[in-house]
Amino acid sequence: MTTSPATHDGAATGLSEPLLPNRNGVHAGALVVTPVVANGHGGGDKLKGDLKAKDKYWKDVDQPDDVAAAPDLENGGGRPLLFSNRRVKNIILYPYRVLILIRVIAVILFVGWRIKHNNSDVMWFWVMSVVADVWFSLSWLSYQLPKYNPIKMIPDLSTLRKQFDTPGRSSQLPGIDVIVTTASATDEPILYTMNCVLSILAADYHIGRCNCYLSDDSGSLVLYEALVETAKFAALWVPFCRKHQIEPRAPESYFELEGTLCEGASHKEFIQDYKHVCTQYDEFKKHLDMLPNTIRQRSDIYSRTGTKDEDATVTWMADGTQWPGTWLDPTEKHRPGHHAGIVKIVQSHPEHVVPLGVQESNDSPLNFDDVDMRLPMLVYVAREKSPGVEHNKKAGALNAELRISALLSNAPFFINFDCDHYINNSEALRAAICFMLDPREGDNTGFVQFPQRFDNVDPTDRYGNHNRVFFDGAMYGLNGQQGPTYLGTGCMFRRLALYGIDPPCWRDEDIIVDSNRFGNSLLFLNSVLAAIKQEEGVTLQPPLDDSFLEEVTKVVSSSYDDSTDWGRGIGYIYNMATEDIVTGFRIHGQGWCSMYATMEREAFRGTAPINLTERLRQIVRWSGGSLEMFFSHISPLFAGRRLSLVQRLSYINFTIYPLTSLFILMYAFCPVMWLLPTEILVQRPYTRYIVYLIIVIAMIHVIGMFEIMWAGITWLDWWRNEQFFMIGSVTAYPTAVLHMVVNLLTKKGIHFRVTTKQPVADTDDKYAEMYEVHWVPMMVPAVVVLFSNILAIGVAIGKSVLYMGTWSAAQRRHGALGLLFNLWIMVLLYPFALAIIGRWAKRTGILFILLPIAFLSTALMYIGIHTFLLHFFPSMLI
């Protein structure tokens, strides 16, 4: 714990350091002494300490001579290097590679030994188990190969500022269009969405070159009016953030921080500002909560005073006009799935420079001298929806935003966020630009992906939401190849890459831009040509005349994509349960590379489903979408003409991994053999088989020890990854495979379901949602596997009591090894067992009481049944 110098000097000076209350009104200084404001990075010392601990196994990569020389920036020298590469130190990397090679050899020998000793009590099962072992080996190898050369990339923000924010002249940073997508104001809390928008508006980027668009796929008036309220609050929140350099800049997350004030002469002023902004934020939240009732009451009043009876169900806007989107009382042309397209500019482009410190409201008591009060452009968009037309889910919404933003701002870079994420590091947009403008591969970089981090996950991460083995392991590995995959949110694209245009290293001189590919909007076609010619500059809001409004309506119409390349070779890809991995694959296949960005303070944060059912539904959609891609015309087996070999293997693994669950499910049901009266062995000699199997499996965890070191994760992260893969393999993944089979037979895709993010109403427990049990059919196989293992262990104990004196040494050894396999499955399914007991799981140790009781009860039942049959029906035991 660190303390402020003011706490030591307070007695001498007669001054005490004021404590800042958190959102619950509790003074937090006695609990945590982390500065809320520390030059833009609260808890900066801790962050640097954590980064140093994670980086101790990494070293800087020497740059080639032709790019290593520092340019003379003052005299207009060449482009500077804007990020640095780090690789794992040889003392870790070389043993790691050797272990991978040793395990490959061990697996080959193991499978060869099994084929040579093809002796089994159940030959059909033996054949399937050998096929399974071969599949496991190939799947593991395709996942492991990209990690032979992990690379970490660190943006150089100070050099970016020196090059593009030179004092005395306007910023030279390129434009960015930032998109926030939401599909439902009911399933996705409005407060989350508006916090995401506020964090974007307050980001540390040139105000005139950052534009924010909200994509509302529900066409709801409540979201539009919430955005209007957000723009009003942003006029206070954004200057407050700029003045005090606070982090994070999403108010809900910021006001939950606990700590003392930072040092400096502005203590008193900061407290006053903080309290005022906090009070205004509470009022802002009340306004958001009241919006549905406000809109309902307003609509009722307008309807009662209306002149036509048919207008009784109309939803009215605050200006007295009818809302063109979805109405509160749905009717034809005003219901979900059937409403007009809507584009409304909530906050205009800051084209007129406002002098620093000019206050927009005389009522504000805050002093914003020398603070830029301007806000980025803010736009509300709801694309048109028509019955009988395929709207292509999130991909269709993003493509509509891609076209609208081209007409209004046409920034060369385009980044999208899910509505439950927010910018956690105000410099994150600058960090992404570092990779795009770097002189080495910047021009050929199609997108920059950031790790996904979550706020609401329980401390033990019971259901593996953090998934750090993937985000901090596999993605660093792909950084050493062609680049990471697109992960759906927190990813900055080059607009040209989304347009399906080749990278400069592969680009033809003549690029065809016509209506057959891009659609029949002349203004949009001109914007594509301007983007290709790199004429982005500073794009001001165009005049909103009738012709322009007609074009705007056209590009968000439900039929615009018809007979074009949208959703195939242009934009986000259609006809998949998930648009992310297939869109990234299409861009990589054209020759673009991608980067995985690492920042000291995490760039973005969000929320994750901590309820098991919602988590499994999310996994079904992801894994089902991956399988759809594998069995589609853009399968990584043969599509993607410019993919490197290792990158192709990675995509094959990412798309076919759900099939592994079929073999895991087969092995998971092996314990039922304990319920049979006679001994049945899958492989003979059994003891040697089990020993070899243990060695092969143990080597995975030895390799994992090295990954834990260089990836900077913990053993708990690794173990949760193992557990949840097992849980998914007996629940979500087989369900995705079943969906895929139905899709191949009937041509009906996987049903898309928005993950519910509304929290459970429990003020006493922030993780109350985790203890809710929502039974769904996909959980049945896991329940059967779990109880089969409980019965098998109980029966094994009962058999040991009855037969221990008559079993041979080999039988006792076989029994012990088989029991070890049962216990291993139980340990892997431990989080699932906690989930199905609901609120009892708040006491995580309860299973250590319930499970032994279940084992002993089953053993006693088996002994009782066996004794009964022995006395009255002895022939049944023969």
Alpha-carbon torsion (838, 840, 841, 847), positive or negative: negative
- Structure confidence at residue 715 (pLDDT): 93
**427-437 mean pLDDT:** 96
DSSP string for residues in 613-667: HHHHHHHHHHHHHHHHHHTSTT-TTT--TT--HHHHHHHHHHHHGGGHHHHHHHH
SS3 of 344, please? strand
Return phi, psi of residue 86, to 5°. -130, 145
- Structure confidence at residue 43 (pLDDT): 45
Asked if the model's pLDDT at residue 755 lies above 50, the reply is yes
Asked if the model's pLDDT at residue 855 lies above 80, the reply is yes
In this structure, how many other beta carbons lie within 10 angstroms of the beta carbon of residue 596? 26
Residue (of 437, 436, 440, 438) closest to 66 by Cα position: 440
Asked if the model's pLDDT at residue 358 lies above 60, the reply is no
- Structure confidence at residue 371 (pLDDT): 87
Task: Tell me the H-state helices in 14-89.
Answer: 44-54, 65-68
Question: For residues 5 and 17, is the Cβ–Cβ distance under 8 A?
Answer: no
Q: What percent of the chain has pLDDT over 70?
A: 84
Regarding predicted confidence, which is higher, 551 or 855?
855
**Rounded Cα gap, residues 371 and 355, in angstroms:** 9
Residue (of 445, 414, 335, 463) closest to 724 by Cα position: 463
Question: For residues 347 and 224, is the Cβ–Cβ distance under 8 A?
Answer: no
Query: Tens digit of pLDDT for each residue in 369-381?
Result: 888 889 999 999 9
**Rounded Cα gap, residues 536 and 309, in angstroms:** 50
Alpha-carbon torsion (689, 691, 693, 696), positive or negative: negative
Amino acid found at 591? G
The residue annotated as part of the active site, out of 204, 216, 217, 472, is: 217
- Structure confidence at residue 10 (pLDDT): 38
Query: Tens digit of pLDDT for each residue in 234-249?
Result: 999 999 999 999 999 9
Query: Tens digit of pLDDT for each residue in 506-526?
Result: 988 888 888 999 999 999 999
Asked if the model's pLDDT at residue 179 lies above 70, the reply is yes
**595-612 mean pLDDT:** 92
Question: For residues 42 and 49, is the Cβ–Cβ distance under 8 A?
Answer: no
SS3 of 180, please? strand
Residue 204 annotated among the catalytic residues of the structure:
no
Return phi, psi of residue 787, to 5°. -75, -30
**Rounded Cα gap, residues 788 and 331, in angstroms:** 52
SS3 of 385, please? strand
In this structure, of 305-309, 435-439, 680-684, the range with the lowest mean pLDDT score is 305-309
**76-81 mean pLDDT:** 70
- Structure confidence at residue 144 (pLDDT): 93
Asked if the model's pLDDT at residue 330 lies above 90, the reply is no
Pairing of strands 151-155, 83-88: antiparallel
Pairing of strands 342-347, 377-382: antiparallel
**Rounded Cα gap, residues 766 and 116, in angstroms:** 56
SS3 of 368, please? coil
Asked if the model's pLDDT at residue 207 lies above 80, the reply is yes
**135-146 mean pLDDT:** 94
Token couple for 724: 């949840």
H or E element in which residue 123 lies: helix 123-144
The residue annotated as part of the active site, out of 216, 472, 561, 580, is: 580
Residue 217 annotated among the catalytic residues of the structure:
yes
In this structure, how many other beta carbons lie within 10 angstroms of the beta carbon of residue 859? 20
**800-824 mean pLDDT:** 84
**Rounded Cα gap, residues 427 and 212, in angstroms:** 16
Q: Output DSSP code: residue 750.
A: P
**Beta strands per DSSP E along 45-174:** 58-60, 83-88, 151-155
SS3 of 326, please? strand
Q: Residue holding tokens 């104990």?
A: 797
Residue (of 658, 651, 626) closest to 637 by Cα position: 651
Token couple for 316: 């009215």
